[in-house]
Structure 1
């Protein structure tokens, strides 16, 4: 595989992830994992899928971390005595 093709996998397959909702990223992550588990993909495709899967998992984790932080803020605000 040429470096140009490799760069296309790296850039073209990852640049849309930051705009995904949690649900979109999770659903695609499930599809990527399923495809990797079934095997049969060429090495280059498997590596690209793995890379995309890692980026999707990171996106999901950041969404969940943000949600947990917001929940904690609400919890703390509810526990404060009102003045």
Structure 2
């Protein structure tokens, strides 16, 4: 694994990780990257993708659904999945 793929992405915000992932995809789609570098940035992209998935999963677990009464007034919150 290359040095760029080894750089820890765990501290990246979702937006920063997505922006870097989009940059990697654009470079790979252009096809003007040497094979060794393509493999390296693909590995980096995989790490960024996994980080984004983890951040999204954590956000989904925190989302709550607002319960409303018949008049449409808030009655509190409950987990989004109803669990």
Q: TM class by shorter-chain length?
A: 0.7 to 0.9
Gaps of 5+ in 2: 67-75
- The structure with the largest strand share of the pair is 2
- How many residue pairs are counted as aligned between the two chains? 70
Which structure would you say has the larger RCO, counting Cα contacts within 8 Å and 6 or more residues apart? 1
- The structure with the largest helix share of the pair is 1
Pick the structure with greater CA Rg: 2
Normalised by the length of structure 2, the TM-score is 0.73
What is the CA RMSD across the aligned residues, in angstroms?
2.1
Normalised by the length of structure 1, the TM-score is 0.73
Structure 1 stretches (4+) deviating beyond 3 angstroms? none
Gaps of 5+ in 1: 1-6
